[in-house]
Amino acid sequence: MAVFGCAGCGAVLTAAVSQVALPIHLADAHWESLHPPLLEAGSYALDPAPYGPPWRQWDEVGPDEAAERGRFAPFGALSDGPSDTVLLAPGDTRGTGLILERAGGHCRGIDGRDGPNLACLGCDLPVGTRMDDCGCWQVVRLLPQAVVRLPGPPERPVMDWADLLATGALWHRLAEYRDIPAGVALARVVAAAGGAPVEVAAGPAAELLGPALGALLPAGEGAKRLDLAGPEFGEPAADLALVPVHPQTGDVWQPRAGAVPVPVDAALWAELAFPSQRTRLPVVGGLPAGVERDDPLPPHPWYPFRPSGEAFRYTLARMPAVREPWLRAIHDRAR
């Protein structure tokens, strides 16, 4: 496991943390709401994309330079900050203090607008940025040039798919933000379809993605069949297969039947592949005649579920394929 220290004085800056795949939830956030930590305690991830000020607009950068940074269509500002920042939960930091003059935010916290706002308590070197404002994931980003990796305990073993499913490790606390990985999955399916219609196999996947795919892609003959595939689930006959991404390694589960794999956040995939079968009725028998249940009804959303449009465009903008006219037209129409 990793322990990160200050590059200036060597002081310990974090608890021991184990590397995991970069959370897909970075693709969006719910505006004007407080968010939980992006990462679980005891874990960290590396973000290969540049992050932090100064920021530049698409028209200022131009398509060629943007493509070198992995951006192939307009989507927000582009950062001139460092790549490979270390993301971790705020509670896993040690030996740091807030730089008060850089603690700008909106109404409920800090958003990192002023650049690195955490300093090493040992030498005052700015080492990272904390964010916890409304509309932001709670996260600390350590600057790669300001930290060093110190010796730590042995790494946690990588769980295989059977263990992940058996222990329930795929069902995680960010489930209420499922519209974000759904928006990412939608973008990947649209790109994989190559402009052809998509027919989604009946079930939870069709309920989740079917309406949006019907609105974004043409109808008619030559439709590609989309279905789930994965560990403990099987490989139904399909042209496109929604498959899970390992939450620790980021490896994509590979189908053997020739279907094109479409990576999906593992927690969302598990929800689709193994939907809850819980019931509110007694397991045996029923209620006596004349007795009415007084349990509160399960909550229902105010509006139909929709994949995140922000996450959809975020994902398309980072695909080289979006430079193809048919896919760029979908990206622009989604704006």
**pLDDT per residue as tens digits for the range 71-101:** 999 998 999 999 999 999 999 999 999 999 9
Strand partners, 139: 131
Higher pLDDT, 4 or 115: 4
Instruction: Average the pLDDT over each of 156-165, 180-189, 281-290 and give the range with the smallest value.
Output: 281-290
Sign of CA dihedral 106, 111, 116, 119: positive
What confidence tier does 296 reach under pLDDT thresholds 50, 70, 90? low
pLDDT at 305 over 90: no
Identify the pLDDT of residue 300.
67
Identify the pLDDT of residue 258.
84
Identify the pLDDT of residue 96.
98
pLDDT at 308 over 90: yes
Both tokens of residue 126? 């700015």
- Dihedral over alpha carbons 86, 50, 48, 36 (to 10 degrees): 50
Query: Is the CB of residue 162 less than 8 Å from the CB of residue 232?
Result: yes
pTM comes to 0.90
Query: Is the CB of residue 193 less than 8 Å from the CB of residue 223?
Result: no
What confidence tier does 301 reach under pLDDT thresholds 50, 70, 90? low
Quote the CA–CA distance of 43 and 54 in Å, as a whole number: 28
pLDDT at 286 over 70: no
Q: Looking at 70-203, list the stretches that DSSP marks H as alpha helix, in order from N- to C-terminal side.
A: 161-167, 179-193
Q: What is the pLDDT of residues 6-25, one digit of tens each?
A: 999 999 999 999 999 999 99
Per the prediction, the chain carries an average pLDDT of: 91
Identify the pLDDT of residue 220.
87
Quote the CA–CA distance of 198 and 222 in Å, as a whole number: 9
**Of residues 63, 22, 4, 26, the one with CA closest to residue 314:** 26
Quote the CA–CA distance of 307 and 153 in Å, as a whole number: 40
Q: Percentage of the chain with pLDDT > 90?
A: 75
Query: Is the CB of residue 133 less than 8 Å from the CB of residue 106?
Result: yes
